[in-house]
Amino acid sequence: MTDIYYSPPAIERDRRAGDLLRIRPSFVPLLPRAGGAWQIVYLGTNSRGGVIPVSGIVILPETDTTTGHAGGSGSCGLLVFCPPFRGLGGRSVSQQLVLGDEPGAETDTAAIAAALEQGWVVAVPDGEGLGVDAGPHTFLASRAAGQIALDLARAAQGIPDLDTIESEVPVMPVTMWGYADGGRAVVAAGELHQRYAPELDLRGICAGAVVSDLAALGPATSDGIHAALGMAALVGLSRAYPHLALERVLTREGQQVAVEAGTLTSAELYERVRGPLAHWCRREDPWCDPVWQQVLAYEVLAHTATLAPLHLYHGHNDRVVPVRAGLRTLIAHRQRGTNVTWREYDAGHAETHALAVRDVLARLAENLTHTPHPGPGTDTPAPATHP
């Protein structure tokens, strides 16, 4: 049954990105220790600079019964969490946390629950194409995802219930955390911050399995079980940039698969699309089309430094996003003058996401204690391995 709360609202002409349009309190059964939650609809900005309605959820930690305030190292801080790719369709995070897991899609509750336990207010964007806007999700369109994440931080500041949280500053300090595609989103948000949302007090960013140049994903998503991600990339980017006509790169059969893929969760997508990706394409390498090459170049990260400290991490045995791609992101940001640090785990893609939770939250709590400033990284040096 369709939830009319998520139907696209009419937007008045004087509304701006970050404005809060709808809010309703919700119970999140997947997070039994949450102190409260609000599903929200707010305005974000898409890849073409248009203001669009998007949705998300803001979750409060439990309060200490003796003090009446949240405890832990993240107290009084807002953490915008951008999860990994969950599919091009299906329920959004803000719907699934309230309704429960649907077949073929798992909500990243472990990371959210860990952040709540440490006293963070956690805000999770659904992203363009999920929630308010019927898909497909604009997978890998990181600039839009970064703007939507920043707009969520803006919108969350307007939730009346957050006024009860003890804070010494009028604007709640913000940190960001994302993994894989979510990692690209928060890195993009950091790069856009000063130009797009300078009023936000962004203190720190942690991002795992980040690829700055999408061209690096081509070989990893062209064959085998991860060809589904290649199809998702084609569909997601074509949704974000309508001039990227799928008929330029996909056969007629491939176009039919793309339509179906736009409604699927990640698990369903892996089941439906089995490599090689070239089976569905007009040419062996669909990314070499000149029009698509222009968009891939536009979506390259690390064009500018982040003002907030940036921590990158990666699994040495990652077969989805090669560690070489993460190292390139690290080097590019160091060349820009970002205060960037690095940690490498002896694990694969999914395992690294789970292993890093405690380290990430500790680093963000440390970021929360000081105002960020640009400068070269001073923590763990880059490994000797070079991309």
Average pLDDT, consecutive stretches of 10 residues, N- to C-terminus, the chain (387 residues):
81 90 92 91 94 95 60 75 93 89 66 94 95 88 96 92 54 93 97 96 97 80 79 94 92 94 91 86 86 91 94 95 94 96 96 96 91 46 35
Tell me, letter by letter, the H, E, C secondary structure of the chain: CCCHHHCCCCCCCCCCCCCEEEEEEECCCCCCCEEEEEEEEEEEECCCCCEEEEEEEEEEECCCCCCCCCCCCCCCCEEEEECCCCECCCCCHHHHHHHCCCCCCCCCHHHHHHHHHCCCEEEEECCCCCCCCCCCCCCCCHHHHHHHHHHHHHHHCCCHHHHHCCCCCCCCCEEEEEECHHHHHHHHHHHHHHHHCCCCCEEEEEEECCCCCHHHHCHHHCCHHHHHHHHHHHHHHHHHCCCCCHHHCECHHHHHHHHHHCCCEHHHHHHHCCCCHHHHECCCCHHHCHHHHHHHHHCCCCCCCCCCCEEEEEECCCCCCCHHHHHHHHHHHHHHCCCEEEEEECCCHHHHHHHCHHHHHHHHHHHHCCCCCCCCCCCCCCCCCCC
At 107 the pLDDT is 67
At 108 the pLDDT is 81
Contact 88, 137 (CB under 8 A): yes
Amino acid at 243: H
Q: Report d(CA 194, CA 202) in Å as an integer.
A: 10
**Rounded to the nearest 10 degrees, how much is the dihedral formed by the CA atoms of 26, 30, 31, 33?**
100
Domain boundaries, the chain: 4-213+303-368, 214-298
At 4 the pLDDT is 86
At 65 the pLDDT is 45
Predicted TM-score of the model (pTM): 0.90
Neighbours of 355 (CB within 10 A): 16
**Rounded to the nearest 10 degrees, how much is the dihedral formed by the CA atoms of 122, 309, 140, 195?**
100
At 102 the pLDDT is 56
Q: Name, in order, each residue with C-beta under 8 angstroms of 373's C-beta and a sequence gap of 6 or more.
A: 307, 339
Q: How far out from the chain centre does Cα 368 lie?
A: 20
Q: Report d(CA 284, CA 147) in Å as an integer.
A: 33
| Tokens 């940036």 found at | 310
At 285 the pLDDT is 83
Q: Is the peptide bond before 276 cis (omega within 30 degrees of 0)?
A: yes
Superfamily of 4-213+303-368 according to CATH: Alpha/Beta hydrolase fold, catalytic domain (3.40.50.1820)
At 256 the pLDDT is 95
At 379 the pLDDT is 46
Q: Report d(CA 109, CA 383) in Å as an integer.
A: 32
Residue 3, both tokens: 């939830």
At 174 the pLDDT is 96
